[in-house]
């Protein structure tokens, strides 16, 4: 007759073996036992396990960067000519072609668009150049045509027709209708801009930095390490993640060519981190950020894509004792795999006998 202690030990061994067999099936391990009772346990139906189908999909490698939603980097707008400032815009005002931006000595200073500032007085037909072309183009855009100008801006002439169109516009705009235009009587901008901040007071000289301006559309400014910017391309589709975790489709609209932070102001090495390059990201739909004036956001950038690959959840990988990985079929068989790209909860796999739709065991 067996003692109670001996019987208890045998019962404990059976329980341990049973647990070990179930656990081995669940995690893809194999337990090989040569004794009769163990062989009988191995031949019994496997315990129910969670399975998932191998899928064929596109995997992407995504990096996430911190950025700031706003109106971009402010640029300084300087005044020209002589006189004192008698009227100023408000923060948030939009400067449009033909409209007054500020006043000097009680006279409105309207906006023209162009790349060439007015650098001389236009008052005789012998003058020609890019500044003349800029004035003629703006007058035409405002509805005051002056005939066909030379295709080459440098050959555009300040003809009597241009002077007449200028005079008609000046009269309609409530300006002195002289048919001439002097430095400081218009402010030339590259396009519509938003007033970011005013730098002077009424009564200050106009020949000074008057204000800072930004683009009118909201953008996200993303400082990226100079060593990482090579993987990002202008025009690339990205995703902006708002503070409320809403995801907004967007595009990379520009990449700065200036590296910031490479040196400190004294010319020494930067001790605050690696050099940075600013990337500007524009939402596809600006209304998606219309409720935010300024905010810290995340920008997700896809750096590479593996299309049409086989993938499983990371939890389906079984680490092999000899190294490498495998996936386990529902019946217990292991198939060795090579792993490729990891993308969030999925991993790319390749190996003999694998196909989309095949069921494999997973832990998640």
Nearest CA to 158 among 183, 192, 191, 181? Answer: 181
**89 DSSP assignment:** P
Side-by-side strand order, sheet with 107-113: 85-87, 100-104, 107-113, 187-189
- How much is the pLDDT for 358? 96
Long-range residue pairs from 121-126, CB within 8 A, at least 24 positions apart, any chain: 121/180, 121/181, 121/182, 121/183, 122/158, 122/166, 122/180, 122/181, 122/182, 123/158, 123/180, 123/181, 123/182, 124/158, 125/157, 125/158, 125/159, 125/160, 125/163, 126/158
Q: For residue 35, how many C-alpha atoms fall within 13 Å in the half-sphere facing its CB? A: 4
The CATH code for residues 63-71+217-305 is 2.40.30.170
Name residue 310's beta-bridge partners.
Answer: 56
- How much is the pLDDT for 261? 64
Full pLDDT tens readout for the chain, 364 residues: 444 444 443 333 333 323 333 333 434 433 333 333 333 444 455 555 799 999 999 998 888 999 999 998 899 999 999 999 999 999 999 999 999 999 999 999 999 999 999 999 999 999 999 999 999 999 999 999 999 999 999 999 999 999 999 999 999 999 999 999 999 999 999 999 999 999 999 999 999 999 999 999 999 999 999 888 888 889 999 999 999 999 999 999 999 888 876 544 444 444 567 899 999 999 999 999 999 988 999 999 988 889 999 999 999 999 999 999 999 999 999 999 999 999 889 999 999 999 999 999 998 6
- Cβ pair 345, 33 in contact under 8 A: no
- Cβ pair 173, 98 in contact under 8 A: yes
Distance CA 177, CA 157 (A): 20
Residue with tokens 């009680």: 106
- How much is the pLDDT for 16? 31
Cβ count within 10 A of residue 251: 14
Distance CA 84, CA 100 (A): 16
Distance CA 364, CA 360 (A): 11
**β strands within 182-333, DSSP E:** 187-189, 193-198, 209-214, 219-225, 237-241, 247-260, 276-283, 295-313, 318-319, 325-328
Q: What are phi and psi of 127, to 5 degrees?
A: -80, 140
- How much is the pLDDT for 46? 52
**84 DSSP assignment:** B
Nearest CA to 262 among 275, 272, 252? Answer: 275
Distance CA 283, CA 290 (A): 11
Nearest CA to 72 among 191, 197, 240, 214? Answer: 214
Domains of the chain, residue spans? 1-47, 63-71+217-305, 75-214
User: Would the pTM count as exceeding 0.75?
Assistant: no
Tell how many helices (H) and how many strands (E) occur in the chain.
4, 20
């Amino acid at each position: 007759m067996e003692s109670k202690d001996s019987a208890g030990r045998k019962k404990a061994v059976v329980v341990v073996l049973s647990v070990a067999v179930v656990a081995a099936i669940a995690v893809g391990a194999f337990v090989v036992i040569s004794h009769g009772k163990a062989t009988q346990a191995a031949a019994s139906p496997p315990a129910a396990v969670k399975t998932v189908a191998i899928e064929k999909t596109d995997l992407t490698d995504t990096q996430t960067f911190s950025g700031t939603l706003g109106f971009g980097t402010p640029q300084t707008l300087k005044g020209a000519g002589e006189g004192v400032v008698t009227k100023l815009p408000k923060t948030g005002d939009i400067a449009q072609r033909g409209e007054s931006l500020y006043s000097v000595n009680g006279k409105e200073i309207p906006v023209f668009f162009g790349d060439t500032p007015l650098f001389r007085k236009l008052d005789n037909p012998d003058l020609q150049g890019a500044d003349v072309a800029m004035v003629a183009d703006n007058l035409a855009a405002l509805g005051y045509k002056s005939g066909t100008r030379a295709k080459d801006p440098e050959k555009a002439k300040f003809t009597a027709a241009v002077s007449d169109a200028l005079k008609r516009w000046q009269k309609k705009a409530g300006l002195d209708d002289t048919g001439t235009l002097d430095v400081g009587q218009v402010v030339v901008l590259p396009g519509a801009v938003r007033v970011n901040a005013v730098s002077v007071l009424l009564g200050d000289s106009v020949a000074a930095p008057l204000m800072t301006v930004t683009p009118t559309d909201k953008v996200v400014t993303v400082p990226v390490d100079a060593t990482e910017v090579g993987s990002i391309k202008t025009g690339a589709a990205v995703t902006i993640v708002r503070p409320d975790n809403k995801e907004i489709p967007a595009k990379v609209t520009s990449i700065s060519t200036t590296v910031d932070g490479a040196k400190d102001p004294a010319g020494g090495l930067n001790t605050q981190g690696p050099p940075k390059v600013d990337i500007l990201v524009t939402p596809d739909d600006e209304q998606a950020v219309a409720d935010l004036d300024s905010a810290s956001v995340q920008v997700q950038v896809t750096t590479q894509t593996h299309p049409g690959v086989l993938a499983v959840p990371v939890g389906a990988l079984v680490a092999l004792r000899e190294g490498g990985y495998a996936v386990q079929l529902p019946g217990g068989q292991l198939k060795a795999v090579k792993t490729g790209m990891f993308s969030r909860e999925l991993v790319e796999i390749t190996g003999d006998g694998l196909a989309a739709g095949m069921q494999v065991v997973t832990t998640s």
